[in-house]
Amino acid sequence: MDILILADGHSCGMVASGATRDDRSAATLPNVLPLDLPHLSRLSWELGSRVVDDATTVGRWQSIGSRWTVSVHDATSETVVVETQTPAGRQRYYGAIRAELDAAIDRLEAAPAWQRTE
């Protein structure tokens, strides 16, 4: 387990690391999102919301025809936080590797059912 230290010097929870795609406990994004990130960690709501409050938003997209949204926030130079919001307003947060996300954003931008809002 890794501990994420926030910019203000406080730790705010733990993030599991080392999960593989074959691991049944590996985090996955909801199927509605056209993103495939092989190394993903699910973050607690408390940790995710604190990180995104202090982070720069890379981009925000909304599903056309539904109220799903996905936002990407810089966490560190090598890590981003992916924030999803369901039509019911539930937020989930995931830690991802920045290098893997760059290619995934290209697929999201090309997806006809998603549009960038920021």
Residue bearing the bigger pLDDT, 69 or 2:
69
Number of domains in the chain: 1
Which SS3 state, helix, strand or coil, does residue 87 take? coil
Mean residue pLDDT across the chain: 83
Does residue 90 fall inside a structural domain? Answer: yes
What residue has token string 């720069």?
56
Does residue 58 fall inside a structural domain? Answer: yes
Does residue 47 fall inside a structural domain? Answer: yes
CB 72, CB 89: distance < 8 Å: no
Query: Stretch 21-48: mean pLDDT, rounded?
Result: 84
Does residue 19 fall inside a structural domain? Answer: no
Does residue 50 fall inside a structural domain? Answer: yes
Query: Stretch 35-48: mean pLDDT, rounded?
Result: 93
Enclosing domain of residue 69: 34-116
Does residue 27 fall inside a structural domain? Answer: no
The pLDDT value given to residue 21 = 45
pTM summary value: 0.77
Over the stretch 59-109, which tens digit does the pLDDT of each residue have? Answer: 999 999 889 999 999 999 999 999 999 999 999 999 999 999 888 898 899
